[in-house]
């Protein structure tokens, strides 16, 4: 049986469109769905195995990307949004009706400050940039995956073109370390 990663990629990773100019994220509620507008294309889209990112029912990974906070606007039914864990770096605003995380700004002083984490599968439009790697792969064990399944999971991710990492991608890890080095005056 093929290992399931996430419904948006299990059938193959679908390329985004260069002309995607943003759209509207919609939660899963039938009644008064939360709607959030995202201006422009998303960046750093990836599959994430961590326990904190929202995953649809049955998915092993989330699919999550970032957009500048200034490009994110809650359009409708924002009264249903509540921060899941106020102590976390990412302030994940979830719908209290259906549980879908609708946006997750980073407000703290951090390399990611000013970015908001969003789940592009909730766009009502097509064309969002496809995921390019898989992050926090080992973390799926924390939510119950048997360690013996990890070879199969990593193999499937590679087959899908989603290089598996146990933290973020090298590019993002370098970006964060550069930010720290500059903050500490080690790097100009």
Ligand X SMILES: N[C@@H](CCC(=O)N[C@@H](CSCO)C(=O)NCC(=O)O)C(=O)O
Q: Which of 73, 3, 85, 89 is nearest to 34 (CA)?
A: 73
Written as six digits, the tokens of 31 are: 């009644």
Q: Which of 27, 136, 137, 154 binds ligand X (CB under 6 A)?
A: 136
Closer to Zn ion at the Cβ: 98 or 111? 98
Around Cβ 137, how many Cβ atoms within 10 Å? 25
CB of 3 to ligand X, least distance (A): 19
> Can you tell me the distance from the alpha carbon of 62 to that of 121, in angstroms, rounded to the nearest whole number?
10
Taken in order 188, 89, 123, 145, the sign of the CA dihedral is positive
> Which of these is catalytic: 13, 34, 50, 102?
50
Q: Which of 177, 157, 156 is nearest to 165 (CA)?
A: 157
Q: Which of 22, 97, 132, 161 binds Zn ion (CB under 5 A)?
A: 97
**Is there a catalytic annotation at residue 48?**
yes
Q: Which of 8, 13, 48, 59 binds ligand X (CB under 6 A)?
A: 48
Residue positions forming the annotated binding site for Zn(2+): 27, 29, 48, 50, 53, 95, 98
Residue positions forming the annotated binding site: 27, 29, 48, 50, 53, 95, 98
In this structure, what DSSP letter does residue 2 have? Answer: P
Q: Out of Zn ion, ligand X, none, which partner does residue 98 contact, by CB within 5 to 8 A per kind?
A: Zn ion
Q: Which of 88, 173, 177, 186 binds ligand X (CB under 6 A)?
A: 88
* Residue 64: alpha-carbon gap to chain centroid: 1
Task: Please give the angle made by the CA atoms of 15, 42 and 152, to the nearest 5 degrees.
Answer: 55
Written as six digits, the tokens of 29 are: 């509620």
- Under rule CB under 6 A, residue 89 binds ligand X: yes
> Can you tell me the distance from the alpha carbon of 144 to that of 48, in angstroms, rounded to the nearest whole number?
15
Closer to ligand X at the Cβ: 65 or 77? 65
**Is there a catalytic annotation at residue 50?**
yes
> Which of these is catalytic: 25, 36, 42, 53?
53
**Which residues of this chain interact with ligand X, rule CB under 6 A?**
48, 50-53, 64, 88-90, 135-136, 139, 142
């Amino acid at each position: 049986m093929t290992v399931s990663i996430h419904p948006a990629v299990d059938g193959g990773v679908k390329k985004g469109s260069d002309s995607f100019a943003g759209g509207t994220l919609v939660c899963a509620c039938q009644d008064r769905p939360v709607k959030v507008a995202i201006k422009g294309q998303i960046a750093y889209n990836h599959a994430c195995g961590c326990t904190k990112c929202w995953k649809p029912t049955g998915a092993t990974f989330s699919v999550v990307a970032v957009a500048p906070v200034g490009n994110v606007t809650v359009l409708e039914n924002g009264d249903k949004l509540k921060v899941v864990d106020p102590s976390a770096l990412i302030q994940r605003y979830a719908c209290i009706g259906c549980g879908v995380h609708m946006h997750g700004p980073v407000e703290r002083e951090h390399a990611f400050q000013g970015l908001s984490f969003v789940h592009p599968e909730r766009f009502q439009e097509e064309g969002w940039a496809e995921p390019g790697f898989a992050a926090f792969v080992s973390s799926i064990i924390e939510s119950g995956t048997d360690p013996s399944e990890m070879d199969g999971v990593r193999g499937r991710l590679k087959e899908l073109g989603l290089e598996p990492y146990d933290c973020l991608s090298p590019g993002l890890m370098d970006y964060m370390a550069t930010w720290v080095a500059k903050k500490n005056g080690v790097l100009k």
